[in-house]
């Protein structure tokens, strides 16, 4: 694989906050946003419209309940967390189309996009808590 192949493959399997926000604003159909963190972290704050599927729960038993025609976009807290990668790998292994949000929730918020849920982090130390 050369550099061109690598970067084209990366673009196939990842998205960034700005591109995802544009897709959501345009009403791109068939995307399911998946927060792969634990329910408590999801309840505190999550991307608008996201569902909560902690990465360890994404198993063959769950597959029948998921839309086979959807493209799943996984995310977790941020770049220091790999729950979204684990969730994406689990979904891909089950045959689903999947992309990973670069930078996760922290990048989403850093770019100024809104979140849903509770009140978000209580203090700066909570802002850097993975919640996976």
Q: E strand or H helix at 72, and its extent?
A: strand 71-75
Contact by Cβ (8 Å): 101, 88: no
For this structure, is 76 an active site residue?
yes
Point out the catalytic residue in the list 76, 81, 130, 132. Answer: 76
Residue recorded with tokens 């799943």? 72
- The DSSP symbol for 63 reads G
56: phi then psi, degrees, rounded to nearest 5? -70, -15
Q: E strand or H helix at 105, and its extent?
A: helix 104-110
Q: Quick one: tokens of 83?
A: 């729950």
List, by residue number, the catalytic residues: 76
């Amino acid at each position: 694989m050369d550099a061109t192949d690598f970067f084209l493959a990366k673009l196939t399997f990842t998205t960034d906050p700005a591109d995802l926000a544009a897709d959501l604003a345009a009403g791109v159909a068939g995307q399911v946003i998946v927060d792969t963190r634990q329910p408590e972290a999801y309840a505190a704050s999550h991307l608008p419209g996201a569902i909560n599927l902690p990465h360890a729960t994404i198993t063959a038993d769950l597959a029948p309940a998921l839309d086979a025609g959807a493209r799943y976009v996984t995310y977790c807290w941020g770049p220091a967390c790999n729950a979204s990668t684990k969730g994406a790998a689990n979904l891909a292994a089950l045959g689903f189309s999947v992309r990973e949000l670069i930078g996760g929730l922290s990048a989403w918020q850093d770019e100024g996009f809104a979140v849903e849920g509770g009140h978000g982090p209580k203090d700066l130390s909570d802002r850097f808590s993975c919640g996976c």
